[in-house]
Each structure stands twice: as structure tokens, then as C-alpha cells.
Amino acid sequence: MNDFFGTLVVLLLLLTALYILVNQDWRWAIAALGLQYIWAFLLVIATWPAELAVVKLVTGWIAASVLGLTRLNLPEDPALPDSGVPSGRVFRLLAAGLVVLMTLGAAPRLADWSRAFGIYPSWGGLLLIGIGLMQIALRPGMFRSALGLLTLFSGFEILYAAVEASTLVTGLLTALNLGIALVSAYLLSAPSLEVQE
């Protein structure tokens, strides 16, 4: 992966992750999640054969679709007022800034320390893990937690792809991503489901 392309992919990954963290509209968040999986896929093919890496892309898109379709069938939330600093967009951006700073420091050391990780997957992986964590910590509700978990696992998988390419593990991680999306969809719609006891 050449420098320009690698940097571009990491920047795009950062932008989509930040967008998911900051924005209020769930539709655009789902669209950004779909895009995020494309950039993650481009980082994974640095270490994996494309035909195996594409599994992660397709899985991510299915997970995003499951969440999107579930959310579509739920009543719209009354517009949540963004209560400003410290819980509003500025605070989340500042928190993401901290993640970016930490990643800038940690990724080169990670790549230096282990030859398994390239610098761009290290940047991408750590950024997604950090911003996913912020998403889980700073945004209330199951939908946002699901986005955070999927982002976090996407970052983890970028890094883990460098050390493990087993078919079984790929299959299980795929099932896990789909499981997170399905369980989140279930929890979102559970109150409106018919009681079958």
C-alpha cells in the first residue's frame, strides 16, 4: 500500500467514524457505517487475500442493513436536543481528538514493535477501536451502542487480520458481527414485539 493511498484510506476512515460519532440522524450514520466498512476492507486487503477480505465487507454491509431496516420500522424519536458542552457535539469531537492524538502516538510504536502490523492498519485499527469506544461511552441508547460495538470490532478485525487468517476464525468473527447487529435489532424492537407466552 503506497503512502498516498494508505493515508487517504485512514483519513476517510477517520472522517466516517467521526461522522457516526457526532451526527444525530440515524440514516446518515448507517450510510457512514457502510462506507466505513469499505475503508476497513481496503486496509484488510493489505494483509489478506481480497476474496477472504471481501467477507468482512459484505458482513459489515449486512450488519448495517439489519440495523438500518430495524430502525426504519421503529417510530421516530422525538428530536433529542443536543444539550451542548459537555455532552454535545463539541465534547464528542474533543474526545475523538484525544483518540486521534493517542493513535498518532501509539500506532507507529505498535508497527515498530511488531512486524505483523503495517503502519496504516495500525492507524486504522486503533482509530476505530478508540472512536468505537467513545461512541459506546458517550452516546446513550442501544442503537448507538450497536454502532459503537460494530466500529470497535471493525478496528479490532483490521489489526487481528494481520496475525490470524484462519477460516474458522473469519467465520466466527463474521457470525459475531452479524450477531451484534441481530441482537441489537432485536433489543431495539423487543418492546413492540408480540408476547408469545
Partner 1 sequence: MSAALLWVLLPVLVGVALLFYRRSDDTPLYLALGLSFILTWIAWQFPIDVVLQLGSVSIEISPTLVFLGRNFTIAENQRLLLTFIYLAETFWLLGSFITRPGRWFPALSLIAVGLFMAALSVQPFLYAALFLAAAVLLWVPLLVPPGSQPGRGIRRALIFLLFSLPFILFTGWLLTGAEGSPGSVTLVLRAGLMLALGFSFLLALFPFHSWMPMLAEEAHPYVLGFLTFFLHSVSLLFLLSFVERYVWLRDNPAVFELLLTVGSLGVFLGGLWAAQQRHLGRLMAYTGMLATGGLLQAIGLGGAAGLPAFFALLLPQAWVLWALAACLGVLYRQAPSLQLAELGPALRRHPLLAFTSVTALLALAGLPLLGPFPAHLAIWQGVGRHSVGLLVLTLLGSLGLLAGGLRLLHAWLSAAPAALAPAAPAGPRRLRGDLANPYVWGFFLIWMVTLLGYGLLPSFLAPVGRLVLMFPQLFQ
Q: Which stretch in 5-13, 18-26, 41-49, 168-176 sits in contact with partner 1 by CB under 8 A?
A: 168-176
User: Is the Cβ of residue 11 or residue 142 nearer to partner 1 in the bound state?
Assistant: 142
> Binding of partner 1 at residue 171 (CB under 8 A)?
yes
Confirm or reject binding of residue 79 to partner 1 (CB under 8 A). Answer: no
* 102 near partner 1, rule: CB under 8 A: no
58/183 with CB nearer partner 1: 183
75 near partner 1, judged by CB under 8 A: no
C-alpha closest to that of 61 among 43, 94, 37: 37
Q: Which sign does the torsion angle of CA 177, 123, 28, 192 carry?
A: positive
Nearer to partner 1 by Cβ, of 61 and 156: the residue is: 156
Q: Which residue from 182, 185, 93 is spatially nearest to 143, judged by alpha carbons?
A: 185
Write the interaction track for partner 1 spanning residues 32-51; mark x where CB under 8 A is met and - where it is not. --------------------
DSSP 18-69: HHHHH---HHHHHHHHHHHHHHHHHHHTTTS-HHHHHHHHHHHHHHHHHHHH
CA separation (Å) from 186 to 33, 44, 155, 189, 196? 19, 29, 24, 5, 15
Footprint of partner 1 (CB under 8 A)? 114, 129, 136, 142, 145, 149, 152-153, 156, 159-160, 163-164, 166-169, 171-173, 175-176, 179-180, 182-183, 186-187, 190-191, 193-197
